[in-house]
Structure 1
Amino acid sequence: MKRVGVAELPLHGGKCPPWLFGRMKRLGGAIAELIVREYGRKEFLRRLGDPFFLQSLGCVLGYDWHSSGLTTVTMGALKEALAERDLGIVVCGGKGLVSRRTPDEIEKVAEKFSFSTAEKERLKYASRMVAKVDNACVQDGYQLYHHTFVLSEDGDWAVVQQGMREKFARRYHWISEGLKSFVEEPHSGIAGERKEDVVLDMTAKESEEARKTSVDLVRENPRRLLSYVRGAEQKLLDEYLEKKPEVKVLLMPAGHRISELTEKTIAALKRAYEIQPENYEELVAIKGIGPKAIRALALVSAVIYGKPPSWKDPVRYSFAHGGKDGIPYPVDRKTYQTTIEILEEAIEGMEAGKEEKIRALRRLHEFVG
């Protein structure tokens, strides 16, 4: 499993008109089929794991390149299009309440593809953990509201999910190859129009010691842990915040103190003590261990034990700049060119009128510059 990128886009109001959605569904299905037949299902999932590819695809299908709606509408169109084609790929989940149906939809797909019970549970676990990691372990302030789990009959998968913060949406991409852990460096690229000043990133390599300390803490008596949390807010916390004042914005918002953990969070920490997790992934997977518990453990690790986590925003790529000026990071030109070539070949090969193909190619090249 691997998270390969994140895109951040401004929120736009309004809905996709039916005529446009119908066209996106038809063109998206044709492009997906040609990519699968030419490169295989695994490569199609790899493409979905690339923020640049999905952004390019959405533009080709006719959606505004910088709109947050590109994610939800493009994935919605692909979901319907792939359901009508026998490609061995199915999209589960979606936006809002539909995202909560993902486990049930995975169940149905598992039956369709004749997966074993163990395989089915593995897939449901992956869907749940992907959402939990981006919501609790990478605390960038973006609340998830869209989650799609794209599954192939080979057992491979990709996830495209999106979160909201103020007037911006940030998109996260995952694929099911190339990584052994959900909680350590799960991404190879994150894209966004802006870089947040402070982000608690417990998946960063720099957070390795904080992850280990968090596990050690929950394996101790919960009462001792709570005393650590309270102690961290007194003298040592003040000293820590003097050195890193920006941390206070994340950990200590107005009207809330870390020691005022909810009963639900305290119960989850006690449950973790009873379970005795062996590693950080097992800890994060425990029901009830959410952002507050993760944050409290990170605070104690930093202040009491001197094992600070990473506070850097892992954003790595910007569509706004296209990376052409190296801000925030240079373009991966090989991936960039491969994406363009794959889409160009798919457009040329699909069954559509000449004018429609020309319009699709024009939209692609307007986006890539």
Structure 2
Amino acid sequence: MARRTGSADLPLHNGRVPAWLGQRMSTLGAIITQTIVHHYGREEFLQRLAHPFWFQSFGAVMGMDWHSSGITTSVIGALKRGLAPLQDELGIYVCGGRGSHSRRTPDELTALGERTGFDGAALTRASRLVAKVDSAAVQDGFELYLHGFFVTGDGKWTVVQQGMNGDKRQARRYHWHSETLKSFVDEPHSAIDGPAQGEIINLTDRRAERSRFAQLDLLGALGPDGIAREYAALSKQPEAQPELPHLIMPAHHDVRASDVFTRRLHGTLAAAAECGPRDFPELLLTPGVGARTVQSLAMVAEVVHGAPYRFKDPARFSLAHGGKDRHPYPVPIKVYDETIRVLKSAVQQASLGRDEEMQALKRLDNQARLLERTATGPSFDAFVAQERDRSPALGGRSVFGWETDVAEKSAGRVGRPHSGRRP
């Protein structure tokens, strides 16, 4: 039976994903999806999406703000765009989205059902029930505004939806997965993400089964006035909630050493240094960028192959491609594009039956896990400082502009011509 697996605090952030990053997120998200499906199957991809810790890390490795509620919107949007040309090949379809897109989910599912043959009416009913449960049966102070529905060709699905509490500037994300669902009203969630709000009304809790039936009986026997009198007489305290894993997404926007498991970062850096020359000589062709790309590939490989416990520090995955707001550092465009090129080559070769490049990525992940037990390296702050220093040479870019421009403005040299072509 489905159950809650944890929660997370998600600060609300304003702003939009710039086109230069959104396009790359769509490409990288689609390639990572293809890689997971190649190794583990499409049902495994649905299970990953249903895990809140993995979902947050997935968005961080794509260059989105590592802890904000915007990851939910941007990841769903990126996958919807990136998987659209591949949906029939992979058998994975993405419906819904934010605002008006969420309200079109039933129509999208109906059209998909007519085209692919799965039961569109049943999936439409599931979509509506999921939204109703999280907006009515779970009254936690968050108003739903986003609904993403991921479905496979054989009718299995995952829903990721999000609610907003504007007064507290917080969001809560809800995850559903059909594989373990036996009831829409008896502990149906695979997870609920969001800040602790004290006591909430959650009629989907297994312990609320008697309450659900009792409410129907009271309504028929007593009417509204009788219910009010009965309510005034109630004095029992609710049963204590069981302790669940809780991912705390802090209010600070910058990435700090306390947000990252440094030993795992050292393992990644050591694996990139030791395995890169041996496993990737034919893949890394851009002079001066290859070694740095292997570090990013190691983090992407962990997103593909890692078990759920590996994702308790989603901030670490922002070290792969930085963040659009310069946290922990600007997005290194040259590295990002090289990562996409290497992964795309591996997927294309695997589709032709040549799996060497895919297996090299998996070996990189395995080696990083082995080395993290003993590897040492720079402090987190020293690593971030080094990346910021290298940012202009790596095509660093953020919502504030190219890092070369930011550096020139800081030095008071605006207007001087640039040398070289930007990516």
- What is the TM-score of this pair, normalised by structure 1? 0.65
Looking at structure 1, the residues matched to 99 and 244 of structure 2 have their Cα atoms a distance apart, in angstroms, of: 24
Looking at structure 1, the residues matched to 68 and 123 of structure 2 have their Cα atoms a distance apart, in angstroms, of: 30
Partner of 2:93: 90
Structure 2: runs of 5 or more not aligned: 251-263, 273-278, 304-312, 318-423
Partner of 1:140: 140
Partner of 1:112: 115
Partner of 2:249: 320
Per-residue deviation, residues 109-152 of structure 1 (Å, max 9, x unmatched): 1122112xxx2211111101111111111111111000011011
Q: What letter matches 2:45 in structure 1?
A: F
Looking at structure 2, the residues matched to 360 and 16 of structure 1 have their Cα atoms a distance apart, in angstroms, of: 23
- Structure 1 residue 366, shift from structure 2 partner: 7.0
- Structure 1 residue 191, shift from structure 2 partner: 3.6
The answer to whether the 8 Å contact 2:8/2:249 transfers is no
Looking at structure 2, the residues matched to 130 and 182 of structure 1 have their Cα atoms a distance apart, in angstroms, of: 7
Q: Matched residue of 1:154: which SS?
A: coil
Q: What letter matches 2:249 in structure 1?
A: A
Looking at structure 2, the residues matched to 195 and 366 of structure 1 have their Cα atoms a distance apart, in angstroms, of: 19
The answer to whether the 8 Å contact 1:4/1:175 transfers is no
Partner of 1:41: 42
CA gap of 1:53–1:26, structure 2 versus 1, over 3 A, is: same
The answer to whether the 8 Å contact 2:57/2:314 transfers is no
Q: Does residue 192 of structure 2 align to residue 190 of structure 1?
A: yes
Per-residue deviation, residues 9-46 of structure 1 (Å, max 9, x unmatched): 00111111111101100100000011112111111101
Matching of residues 143-222 of structure 1 within 5 Å: 143-165=143-165, 166-192=168-194, 194-218=195-219, 220=220
CA gap of 1:43–1:366, structure 2 versus 1, over 3 A, is: closer
Per-residue deviation, residues 156-191 of structure 1 (Å, max 9, x unmatched): 000000000130111111100123111112235434
Partner of 2:224: 226
CA gap of 1:360–1:106, structure 2 versus 1, over 3 A, is: same
The answer to whether the 8 Å contact 1:147/1:159 transfers is yes
The answer to whether the 8 Å contact 1:99/1:146 transfers is yes
Looking at structure 1, the residues matched to 147 and 294 of structure 2 have their Cα atoms a distance apart, in angstroms, of: 30
Partner of 2:24: 23
CA gap of 1:199–1:4, structure 2 versus 1, over 3 A, is: closer
CA gap of 1:357–1:23, structure 2 versus 1, over 3 A, is: farther
The answer to whether the 8 Å contact 1:93/1:100 transfers is yes
Looking at structure 2, the residues matched to 83 and 20 of structure 1 have their Cα atoms a distance apart, in angstroms, of: 18
Q: Matched residue of 1:146: which SS?
A: strand
Count of residues in correspondence between the two structures: 269
Q: What letter matches 1:359 in structure 2?
A: S
Q: Matched residue of 2:179: which SS?
A: coil
CA gap of 1:120–1:311, structure 2 versus 1, over 3 A, is: farther
Partner of 1:326: none
Structure 1: runs of 5 or more not aligned: 245-308, 322-335
CA gap of 1:358–1:368, structure 2 versus 1, over 3 A, is: closer
Which has the higher Rg, Structure 1 or Structure 2? 2
Q: What letter matches 1:358 in structure 2?
A: Q
* Aligned residues: CA RMSD: 3.1
- What is the TM-score of this pair, normalised by structure 2? 0.57
Partner of 1:236: 233
Looking at structure 2, the residues matched to 361 and 13 of structure 1 have their Cα atoms a distance apart, in angstroms, of: 31
- Structure 1 residue 357, shift from structure 2 partner: 5.3
CA gap of 1:310–1:97, structure 2 versus 1, over 3 A, is: farther
Per-residue deviation, residues 282-325 of structure 1 (Å, max 9, x unmatched): xxxxxxxxxxxxxxxxxxxxxxxxxxx6685997421438xxxx
